[in-house]
Structure 1
Amino acid sequence: MGKSKRQVLEEAEEKNVKFIRLQFTDILGIVKNVSIPIDQLKKALDEGIWFDGSSIEGFVRIQESDMRLNPDPNTFAVLPWRNNGEDEPMTARLICDVERPNGDPFKGDPRYVLKKAERKAKKMGYKFYSGPEPEFFVFEKENGSASLKTHDAGGYFDLAPKDLAQDLRRDIILTLENMGFEIEASHHEVAEGQHEIDFKYAQGLKTADNIATFRMVVRAIAEMNNLHGTFMPKPIAGINGSGMHTHISLFKNGENAFYDKTDEYSLSETAYHFLAGLIEHAPAITAITNPIVNSYKRLIPGYEAPIYMAWSDVNRSALIRIPGVEKSEGKRLEYRSPDPSCNPYLALSVLLQAGLDGIEKQLTPPDPVKENIYELTEQKMEEYGIQTLPENLKQAVTALENDEVILNALGEHVAQKFIEAKKHEWDQYKAHVSKWETKEYLEKY
């Protein structure tokens, strides 16, 4: 059971909330918000709040700018870091759906895109669950701006004194728990200044909301400590980048639809079809799950990032891994290429729709690859039929333009605006002269 409007109003009064942030996400995954005083909360819950959609990336043209924010009562949460004392007024947030003036859902709203995908799954008899593993870097600030000096010199699973960010991670976790998160684990990642905090899986829409909230909390708590938290996939060359491995499962009639105890990998036919759909549409998916120029600086061999369109139960060089679990409810697929710069609503939408397409078409996946793919010869790769993900944003966007299933998953509006934005980003990148180029060529030629 979700929260009712009355429960939101009562909780807001009980917790001395005086301001409400109404949040939504643009097509690029950037969280936007408008703040209202508490005396406008009932009106917002009953009637929504109007705003100018023409000012938001990828929304509408100037002549059709009126849009309405419709708050989702289930997303009400107090922002703990906005409180300066026990008796100080509090600020809370509500995540909103975006609607047209006539009350119809706005098809350019990423939240709507994910809801559409979940409705399709429901029609097929499934509930979609997902659990992300978002990684991030923490850097020191210099003269008030973010630097590339890492906050600590720790490595994978290190402890203090090397991992100087233990207290920072603790503060982030306590804040997330105050906002209703169930944290499963946290640790230092491989690179200096890199961290991971894992929270419990949930149904798709809640997971996407949680990812958006998680990124906001990390940045806010880092800022309070005069640090900069970033979800940029590859901020420093030569070290590991940040990924967001995404765990996926479908349930049907209360049972895990991916589980079959008689199978060698404990996977059902449904799971195999879903897996095949993910591999079939992986190139186009990559435009959404790895959406910026910098994403492809992470997707290269040698830094634990999966670039090979294959699956395995044992090795992490494959795009899709089957985690070893004993309980049937835990059976899932781990899609390993996404990075935390992606729009979580669009990313989960295309992963779900690709898998459902595999189920509908009864697609069959290739055989699993047991060897470390990074060490395979080109001949072996060809023999196994292993292809690689797009090497850059341009290739990924081209793959997206040629994949009707993923285009339909996004919808015409989102697909068009997303592709326009990414082509513009690529054109800007192409025209830029980097420090590497001047260092390499300035005196040589």
Structure 2
Amino acid sequence: MSVQQVLELIKEKGIEFVDFRFIDLTGRAHHITLPATEVDAETFVNGVAFDGSSIKGFRGIEESDMVMMPDTDSVYVDPFTAHPTLIVICNIYTPDGQRYDRDPRSIAHKAEEFLQTSGVGTTAFFAPESEFFIFDDVRYESTMNSSSFFVDSEEAAWNTNRKEEGGNLGFKVGVKGGYVPVAPVDSQQDIRSEMVRLMQEAGLRVERHHHEVSTAGSAEINFRFDTLTASADNLMKYKYIVHNVARQYGKVATFMPKPIFGDNGSGMHVHSSIFNGSEPLFYEKGGYANLSEMALNYIGGILHHAPALIAITNPSTNSFKRLVPGYEAPVNLVYSKGNRSAAVRIPVAAVTPKGCRIEFRTPDSTANPYLAFAAMLMAGLDGIKRKINPSALGYGPFDTNIYDLSDEQKKDIRSVPATLDEALDALEADYEFLTEGGVFTKEFIDNYVGVKRAEAKSVAIRIHPHEYGLYFDC
């Protein structure tokens, strides 16, 4: 969309405000809103100034002036504001006109450019499957003398005896019993459908929605694949709509990987493939799961670099509460066709040559999507460049349920890091694949690790309520 088309859209839709947004290191959106009367062609040339020192992981106070440069291809009408508002996602620049190398969107763009100059292909496509919970109540605190959290959902398994409903209505979702039941067990059909409707109005091509495995409001909505940066933009749009529709219904949505104990968490399975023009490069009829050698090498790169990659695709302490065996968590660094216990799965049901792809099941939605998709692509391209054969390295294929194997059978299967600190250690030891072509910089990685180390430490030094049960009587 051209600048002129955006200005015409503002007039056509009676837009009163234009909301300029950027994405920080952690994947959270920030915004500055201008009256539409103050937005003209010059705005798209000069950008919108903001204070970078107030954004976690950006700049110091002595170099705080930064500029948001609007991307006219990212615009959509905000479905929630009382005053008609147009949302525009922006790239971040320094005052001297240089792309800011800590801007996650800049890194996503550089990854796409690196692919185009690599000789491998022209376009990488990504499709995230981002799961979430919808709760009725959430409360938490962490102080000097108190630490607790509480979440509740009217459909949760623990509420079979709840009286607050004025007579319990039953039909609760059992633990691990939430996969695609119909109403009245699935009580959230309408709220998900409203999310889908608004996503479609905002330009997403939604393919389906359903209740997920866990009790207490587990949900998934799938939207169609797109190019790397566009898919990351779409995921930001998706999360914004999910959060705000839930709020309109008097509920709260969270993409936290493991908000409740004892049931499945929320992942973000990421499908990806590479094309050369209109030619799919991951398909080869007769190969394992009809995969080409290039696709297998791409898998090899992801699995080889997975411990480091996970520091970016699963960048929270809570991520590793999900990545434990027994809850469909993809903790095994192997590949397989159709096997959900493997970190990399190759979908085989109703797949065409153009739909041939790999699914990295480990990530979750605490990841910054621009960084996560870029890192995945760089790991896969390194595998292609080095012709990493995943089978030769013992990464499979494993077409049996790995959780059913004996300890002896599993002893040579690598697992994901057990903690965020372990993943960050792996990233510090294995980052060169990310800095190829200047996509990520060493300075960016050092800064990222520092931010995440601080998060991990802030959790590690706090007293956990369960410790009282374990140790208070010592």
**Structure 1 residue runs of 4 or more that deviate by more than 6 Å after TM superposition:** 142-146
What CA deviation, in whole Å up to 9, does each residue of 1:56-86 have, x standing for no partner?
A: 1111111111111001001110011214xxx
Name 1:149's counterpart in structure 2.
152
Count of residue pairs brought into register by the alignment: 435
Instruction: Note the 1:208-287 alignment, pairs <5 A.
Output: 208-287=232-311
Distance 2:465 2:388 in 1: 46
**Residues 164, 369 of structure 1: CA spacing in aligned structure 2 closer, same or farther, 3 A cutoff?**
same
Tell me how far apart the structure 1 counterparts of residues 235 and 351 of structure 2 sit (CA, whole Å): 27
- Which residue of the other structure, out of 183, 187, 190, is the alignment partner of 1:167? 190
CA apart distance, 1:150: 1.9
Report how far residue 19 of structure 1 moved: 0.7
Contact map agreement 1:58 1:414 (CA 8 A) in 2 = no
Unaligned runs of 5+ in 2: 142-148, 156-171
Whether the 8 Å CA contact 1:307–1:318 is kept in 2: the answer is: yes
Check whether the contact 2:137–2:153 (CA below 8 A) recurs between aligned residues. no
CA distance in structure 2 between the partners assigned to 1:354 and 1:438 by the alignment: 42
| Structure 2 residue matching 1:410: 3-state secondary structure | coil
| Alpha-carbon distance between aligned partners in 1 of 2:354 and 2:153, rounded to the nearest angstrom | 39
Is residue 2:214 matched to residue 1:184?
no
TM-score, normalised by the number of residues in structure 2: 0.89
- 332, 336, 361: which one pairs with 2:357? 332
* Residue in structure 2 matched with residue 389 of structure 1 by the alignment: 416
- 1:413 matched to 2:443: yes
CA distance, structure 1, for counterparts of residue 465 and residue 440 of structure 2 = 36
Partner of 1:86: none
Shift of 1:151: 4.6
User: Pick from 15, 38, 41: which aligns with 1:40?
Assistant: 38
Contact 2:139 2:150 in 1 (8 A): no
1:113 maps to which of 107, 118, 132: 107
Residue pair 2:308, 2:431 contacting (<8 A) in 1 also: no
Match of 2:55 in 1: 56
C-alpha contact (below 8 Å) 1:48/1:69 kept by paired residues: yes
State the Cα distance separating 1:406 from its structure 2 match: 4.8
Q: 1:355 aligns with which of 380, 387, 390?
A: 380
**More displaced 10-residue stretch of structure 1: 130-139 or 425-434:** 425-434
Q: Which amino acid aligns with 2:335?
A: W
Gapped runs of 5+ residues in structure 1?
84-88
Output the CA distance in 2 between the equivalents of 1:90 and 1:208. Answer: 24
Deviation of 1:174 (Å): 0.9
The CA distance in 2 between the partners of 1:108 and 1:405, in whole Å, is 17
1:430 alignment partner in structure 2: 460
1:59-78 equivalences in 2 (<5 Å): 59-78=58-77
Deviations 1:293-331 (A, max 9, x none): 000000000000100000001311100001014410000
- Alignment check: 8 A CA contact 1:27 1:414 kept: no
Question: Which residue is equivalent to 1:9?
Answer: 7
- Partners of 2:140 and 2:196 lie apart in 1 by 25
Q: 1:406 & 1:55 partners in 2: Cα distance?
A: 31
Cα shift readout 1:407-436 (whole Å, capped 9, x = no counterpart): 525323331221111111111111111111
Is the Cα contact below 8 Å between 1:184 and 1:199 reproduced in 2?
Answer: yes
* Contact 1:121–1:127 (8 Å) recurs in 2: yes
**Aligned letter for 2:29?**
V
Deviations 1:84-116 (Å, cap 9, x if unpaired)? xxxxx4011000000011111000000011111
Quick one: structure 1 residues 45 and 163, their matched pair in 2 at CA, closer, same or farther if it must change by over 3 Å? same
Counterparts of 2:432 and 2:20, CA distance in 1: 32
**Most deviating of 264-273 and 94-103:** 264-273
- Contact 2:138/2:150 (8 A) holds in 1: yes
Distance 1:115 1:82 in 2: 30
Mean Cα deviation higher: 329-338 or 367-376: 367-376
Equivalent-residue separation in structure 1 for 2:277 and 2:236 (angstroms): 29
- Are the equivalent residues in 1 in contact too, given 2:382–2:433 (CA < 8 A)? no
- The equivalent residue for 2:159 is none
- Paired position in structure 2 for 1:368: 397
Q: Note closer, same or farther for the CA distance 1:78–1:355 as it changes in structure 2 (3 Å cut).
A: same
Cα distance in 1 for partners of 2:304, 2:139 equals: 48
SS in 2 for 1:312: strand
Tell me how far 1:262 sits from its aligned partner: 3.3
Q: What CA RMSD, in Å, does the superposition of the two structures yield over aligned residues?
A: 1.6
* Cα shift readout 1:166-195 (whole Å, capped 9, x = no counterpart): 111111111111100111010000112110
For residue 82 of structure 1, give the secondary structure of its aligned residue in structure 2.
Answer: coil
Residue 44 of structure 1 deviates from its aligned partner by 2.2
